[in-house]
Structure 1
């Protein structure tokens, strides 16, 4: 269970056992059914006899505290976003993944086999999270920090070329790059040969730092245009200028639109899907998750990206062989996600992805 914040501790102090029980049942009913629950039905759910009128009095107090609200006149009650956050932090015991779910996750990610390349692993993780949650599975791909095996350039047009980066892990990455004006085929080959000689076996950041330290020697050994391509290329590829967007893998977008009947809700969800296509906002949210050590939950307007769509994100960081956080993965869905089930599954998936990457 998440530690209770000072704000939520104050709320908790204002609830007696009866209020806590009624609030918990309102939230649990919403998470299962997605519908408001009224005082008459609540009175039947309670273990002790309590009249609908008494239940309504408790519901009125909960509404005053900002934990529930009535979506329509004479309707039942639903939890507010504040109420959901309070429930997640103060009431929910996430437990652990079941043996069946553990086996499902491990089989989907091929944990016991010689595993495919990292990008395929992350794609499979995104697909698996989408399937088990009926939401969208998200993965912010790892910051590239493996050792290089080979680099070559393929000219596409006068001022653009394809940089083919082959990693010792076996992964291959293609990036379109801008070429200095007037660069010849021989200068392009010269830059590739230089990089293969000096960068092989190093990370991009390591190669960048080593070549920067020998800038004078590099300029003496290479033609000016070749030297410019080497220095600028390593800076961009290693993320030194933060100019390259991180890769975002999204699977299960259609799940977000399933079972929606309200036209306004459908429109809000479509707006969220548009934001996912633009990537910048969701990447910033996943970047925030990387700063933590475990699962984080963003509910509704707690993050600007979800303020209109009313969505929630359950996300956790994953690590490389040096235990450095290199990415994040999670589930995006409606605010009535089954948090108690999804949180441990996201956590276990992140741990499993970390272990697989560590073995590579």
Structure 2
């Protein structure tokens, strides 16, 4: 056993109290993994360290790091890779987040402003997703809540005696259609009356705003409309789907994930990740967890059920509208060896730029 205090598996934070060489050796293993994806051996580490240590001493420290659950030996390799637990510890306790270069800031602002000029919110967010993908070489993802779109017009179109189409037109030009079951015996005039009632109150409001207003002025609505028409109004603005399917997911740059594959298991991992990305509901649910705080959230590997098989990570940050309400999330998905220190400020800055564009009305 090495002379320094070993770290117990249940307490990886013990690394903070140990000597500097443990931190430096662990950092070299992390740096090697994030740069190349390859295991790092004791001889290479000994050459790279800022202090003079023999390979044997390095191996002793690596043994303690392995006992702490922070690194492991893949297959029969003499080198070590960080575990997901080790990556989490590095991200939370040791990572020094870098700053974006002025060129990167300028590129993000210029591309987003160009996309926002005379284009729909959907097109602007698609550009944000593509931009993050290009900057990171991962997959750029954006999720936004449909209910947060500012509405301009609503229309009811009867399909048959039992069904109608609710057409919601947002002020950015996007259109959403919802299928609505009609109450038995509803006269044709009720569809026109319900649309007129809502359109008199809809301009500039979100569906959530409209629902709250109708609930607060229920007596007024019931005095203006007959019972069946009033029921139609409430059904037309109800959330017709759950929180996940009421959100819109944009993914760009999946092909980037096929680059830099080093082994057959990498290809299998990416195949599994592509399957994850096709399960839109789960991706949206995961992205929605990033709304829990103001800053950037990092999700690593099997910490999340979605990525438990593919061993992938996601860095995500929420963005806000003019009223400072969180209305969506931008992020990057890629392998666990993402350059977190570089990607965190990139995602954070892009979220802020998107928010500023929303604040200025694009």
Q: Distance in 1 between matches of 2:154 and 2:196?
A: 8
Match of 2:232 in 1: 229
Deviation at 1:242, TM superposition (A): 4.4
Q: Distance in 2 between matches of 1:247 and 1:86?
A: 33
Q: Distance in 2 between matches of 1:146 and 1:309?
A: 34
What's the secondary structure of 2:309's corresponding residue?
coil
Match of 1:12 in 2: 16
Match of 2:324 in 1: 323
- Corresponding pairs, count: 351
Show CA shifts across 1:123-165 (max 9, x none): 1111111111111111111453354322123345554444332
What's the secondary structure of 2:260's corresponding residue?
coil
Which 5+ residue runs of structure 1 have no aligned equivalent?
1-5
Q: Distance in 2 between matches of 1:245 and 1:141?
A: 9
Indicate conservation of the 8 Å contact 1:313/1:333, yes or no.
Answer: yes
Indicate conservation of the 8 Å contact 2:244/2:285, yes or no.
Answer: no
Indicate conservation of the 8 Å contact 2:144/2:328, yes or no.
Answer: yes
Pair 1:30 & 2:33 matched: yes
Pair 1:271 & 2:272 matched: yes
Deviation at 1:73, TM superposition (A): 1.5
Deviation at 1:190, TM superposition (A): 2.6
Match of 2:177 in 1: 175
Counterparts in 2 of 1:120 and 1:243: CA distance versus 1, 3 Å: closer
Counterparts in 2 of 1:53 and 1:117: CA distance versus 1, 3 Å: same
Match of 1:47 in 2: 50
What's the secondary structure of 1:294's corresponding residue?
coil
Match of 1:204 in 2: 207
Pairing 1:272-287 to 2, within 5 Å after superposition: 272-287=273-288
Pair 1:104 & 2:128 matched: no
Poorly superposed stretches of 4+, deviation over 6 Å: none
TM-score (norm 1): 0.88
RMSD: 2.6
Pairing 1:85-96 to 2, within 5 Å after superposition: 85-96=88-99
What's the secondary structure of 2:191's corresponding residue?
helix
Show CA shifts across 1:100-122 (max 9, x none): 11011112211697453322211
Return the match for 1:59 from 49, 59, 62.
Answer: 62
What's the secondary structure of 2:147's corresponding residue?
coil
Match of 1:352 in 2: 353
Q: Distance in 2 between matches of 1:78 and 1:243?
A: 36
Indicate conservation of the 8 Å contact 1:140/1:286, yes or no.
Answer: yes
Indicate conservation of the 8 Å contact 1:38/1:75, yes or no.
Answer: yes
Q: Distance in 2 between matches of 1:109 and 1:343?
A: 18
Deviation at 1:62, TM superposition (A): 1.5
Deviation at 1:11, TM superposition (A): 2.6
Deviation at 1:260, TM superposition (A): 2.7
Show CA shifts across 1:149-187 (max 9, x none): 2212334555444433233x4333222222315555443
Indicate conservation of the 8 Å contact 1:179/1:229, yes or no.
Answer: no
Show CA shifts across 1:69-93 (max 9, x none): 1002243111111111122222221
What's the secondary structure of 1:356's corresponding residue?
helix
Pair 1:130 & 2:145 matched: no
Q: Distance in 1 between matches of 2:48 and 2:218?
A: 74
Indicate conservation of the 8 Å contact 1:162/1:174, yes or no.
Answer: no
Indicate conservation of the 8 Å contact 1:160/1:176, yes or no.
Answer: no
